[in-house]
Amino acid sequence: MDISLLSQTDSEIGVIGLGLMGSSIITSLLISGYHVKAIAPIRNEAESGKSRIKELLAICVQSGLIENEETYLSKLTISENYADLSNCLLALECVIEQIEIKKNVYHQIAQHIHPEAVIASNTSAIPISVLQEFAPNPARFMGIHWAEPAYSTRFLEITCGDKTDVAKAEVVYQAAHAWGKEPTLLRKDIRGFITNRLMYAVYREGLDLIESGEAKKEDADKAFKYDVGSWITYKGIFKRMGYEGLKNKAVIIQNLLPDLSQIVHVPKIMEEIVEQKGRGIYNQIGLYKYTADDCKVWEKEFADFIDDISRLAAKFPVNKRLE
Ligand SMILES: NC(=O)c1ccc[n+]([C@@H]2O[C@H](COP(=O)([O-])OP(=O)(O)OC[C@H]3O[C@@H](n4cnc5c(N)ncnc54)[C@H](O)[C@@H]3O)[C@@H](O)[C@H]2O)c1
């Protein structure tokens, strides 16, 4: 099996798990032209998963990413049978964030997948070096971390574990361009990968500001949306930092860093939502109050927004040339 064929959009990729991300990743691969073998690891998920994928493909039609759903649906097979993975160049595990459950899924994948195929996890936070110990061949195991909605965001983070063959990760990195992504490759396993390390530094400061009563969440959100939000897609962090010179920023770092939050506990405001089993738009329990109808509108608007912002960024080629 030649995994460099992953760059060819008519090859076969398996996705295990049909939850929020699994169905969104399947949609992304389908609209890129791939044949997808979806495995429903729990009973009766095949039907609900298929309905969700149909809904997502309909959103893709509405936003002009594809012309019709049928062509893409015909390339999808959903079953509870891991044997369907036998011709897949890549199996993407996208099940609940619990090590024991992921371990069991790798065991099932291992019984059917080609020995030279790649197995990857969409985990957000479990170290790849831990998960790869449960894979049939750790050298062919890596993290492939997507962002929601996976079919329209450009983000994709590929992470090697201690035993991953970096050359294999580079092949996947190349192929990810055919999935419509701007991938990053982390050659060494660090906790939280790149994106969660950055984002959780911001969450920590934001949550501490809210919990201490120094700012309201609405104001923190406004500040982030209308300041950072106005330039981040164009410049990223370091292009912005270097753009105006670093002299003043060095002074600010010296003065401000000692004042920033150092908390290492889960803030109370988060604990309360966790206790209420908050699942955001899925059960309308989150940091803001909203109705089921609001959620539907948000989901659609957000998908349109991501699509628009990707197109907007693509209009500025100097931005890309400097990467
Ligand atoms: N939600 C996000 O925005 C996001 C972003 C990046 C990465 N991830 C990661 O993706 C993975 C899936 O997250 P999600 O948000 O799609 O979760 P989800 O709760 O929507 O779906 C989880 C899926 O896990 C499977 N599952 C549940 N119980 C199982 C069991 N006992 N045995 C086998 N499979 C079982 C099912 O297919 C279920 O649909 C997690 O590792 C998560 O950390 C999520």
DSSP state of 280: B
Tokens of 117: 């195929």
Instruction: Report pLDDT for 224.
Output: 96
The predicted model scores a pTM of 0.83
- Centre of ligand 1 to C-alpha 148, Å, is 12
* Mutational pocket test of ligand 1: of 15, 16, 18, 21, the residue with most ligand atoms within 8 Å of the beta carbon: 21
Cβ–ligand 1 contact at 18 (below 6 Å): yes
Ligand 1 contact, 143 CB (< 6 A)? no
Model confidence at 184, pLDDT cuts 50, 70, 90, reads very high
**Paired residues of 277 in beta bridges:** none
User: Cα(218)–Cα(205) distance, rounded to whole angstroms?
Assistant: 14
Let me know if 131 is exposed, middle or buried by CB neighbors in 10 A (0-12, 13-18, 19+).
buried
* Helix, strand or coil, per DSSP, at residue 15: strand
Residue 16 alpha carbon to ligand 1 centre in Å = 9
Q: Where are the beta strands (DSSP E) in the chain?
A: 12-16, 35-39, 76-79, 90-93, 118-121, 141-146, 155-160, 182-186
pLDDT in tens, 48-66: 999 999 999 998 898 888 9
Q: Is residue 72 within 8 Å of 65, Cβ to Cβ?
A: no
Is the C-beta atom of 45 inside 6 A of ligand 1? yes
Point out which residues pair with 195 in neighbouring strands: none
Q: Whose C-alpha lies nearest to ligand 1, atom 24?
A: 95
Q: What is the pLDDT of residues 215-241, one digit of tens each?
A: 999 999 999 999 999 999 999 999 999
Q: Nearest-5° angle of CA 153, CA 157, CA 159? A: 165
